[in-house]
A = this chain, B = another copy of it.
Amino acid sequence: MNRKPVRVAVDAMGGDYAPQEIVKGAIQAVERDEIEVILVGSEDAIHRELEQHDVSGLAVRVVNATESIRDGESPVAALRQKPDASVLVAIRLVKEGQADAVVSMGHTGAVMVSAIEILGKLEGIKRPTAGTFLCGFAPNTLVFDLGPNADCKPRDLMNFATIGSVVARKMLHINNPTIALLSNGSEEGKGNKLVREAYPLFKQSSLNFIGNVEGNDIPLGKANVIVCDGFSGNVMIKFCEGLGNSIVEWLRIRLDKRLPQKEIDAIGNDLFALTHTVDVSGGAMIYGVNGVVWIGHGRSKAPEVADSIHQVKLAVEANFLGELKSELGKLQ
């Protein structure tokens, strides 16, 4: 295929290991894919990092930003007080058409608020969302919302379902994805107030709604898109990671001297990956803003940064945003 390389703006100052690991990851990404990376942040700091690598001939350029937002700052206040913060400058590049997507490992709330403020929300979307596989045992099951929206209205859950449905179609290549509500019982009428009120909306919609599923149905992949409020989703994804850690540790002791150490390590690593899907993918896309935006884990190192850049490249090439807009248009 002959097309213009995807241009990714990367917030070089965001994340626990910024700018070192961010710059390193960006270089790895450019080496892997035919893309252009724009590193945004303190020019001096970024150039110091770039000097550690051989970047001759690589499509990496630097855009200066004099400020950065730290963890613990109020997102809204930080944006007002630091108009030249790296995350804002990076997102503005997308707004101005100089970049096709943005990746930040920085302050989650700040990335979210900046993306909404600068890029705006898609028509029909009140609250952008984030979602992905909850565990590797169900690779065809996406869970929305996994965090940004702790308190939801029934209408928000419908939005998550619509977005999830497009993600499942475009990114997982599932033709008519099944949609379910996460609940405390499978029968209609079960659930907390939110789920009970959302149920009839889902039923009346054009979504391929299959009803309620329970917590144990998630690893079984009983639906392609499982919808819940961001509080439940966040608690669950972290519980999945924690339980995975405990089981890996338990197995290491249990298998000790019963199998070669290399084999135990491989089992441990695989099980870790199966229970740490967001960790392994380095973060998650924000859906519902008018642009391709990736919020990475603060603790991401170079490989996760490179993977994140790869993910947004795929999303841009799949014209995910255009599809979502047209899908939302049909709902209006």
Contact = CB atoms under 8 A, between A and B. Distances in A.
Contact of A231 (B192, B259, B263, B274): B192
Interface in A178-193: 182-184, 191-193
A137 to B, nearest CB: 4
Given A247-B247, A271-B247, A215 B236 contact: yes
Nearest to A216: B242
A218 interface: yes
Given A147-B184, A219-B245, A191 B231 contact: yes
Please tell me how many copies of the chain the complex holds: 2
B239 A240 contact: yes
B250 A137 contact: yes
From A234, A263, A274, residue with most partner B Cβ within 10 Å: A234
A234 B215 contact: yes
Interface string A219-243: 1100000001111101111111111
A175 interface: no
Contact of A232 (B218, B232, B271): B232
B150 A184 contact: yes
A234 B147 contact: no
A239 B242 contact: no
A214 B234 CA distance: 9
Interface string A112-143: 00000000000000000000000101000000
Interface in A255-301: 258-259, 263, 267, 270-271, 274-275
A216 B216 CA distance: 18
A246 B219 contact: yes
The DSSP consensus for interface residues of chain A is helix
A254 interface: yes
A217 interface: yes
A151 interface: yes
Contacts of A218: 239, 242-243
Given A147-B184, A258-B263, A215 B238 contact: yes
A193 B243 contact: no
From A137, A195, A215, A258, residue with most partner B Cβ within 10 Å: A215
Contact of A216 (B191, B195, B245, B250): B245
Given A246-B135, A250-B274, A259-B258, A239 B267 contact: no
Contacts of A274: 247, 250
B193 A151 contact: yes
Given A235-B232, A246-B137, A275-B243, A151 B192 contact: yes
A112 B56 CA distance: 71
Contact of A214 (B228, B238, B243): B238
From A137, A219, A229, A270, residue with most partner B Cβ within 10 Å: A219
A243 B184 contact: no
A237 B250 contact: no
Contacts of A236: 215, 235-236, 239
Interface of A: 135, 137, 147, 150-151, 182-184, 191-193, 195, 214-220, 228-232, 234-243, 245-247, 250-251, 254, 258-259, 263, 267, 270-271, 274-275
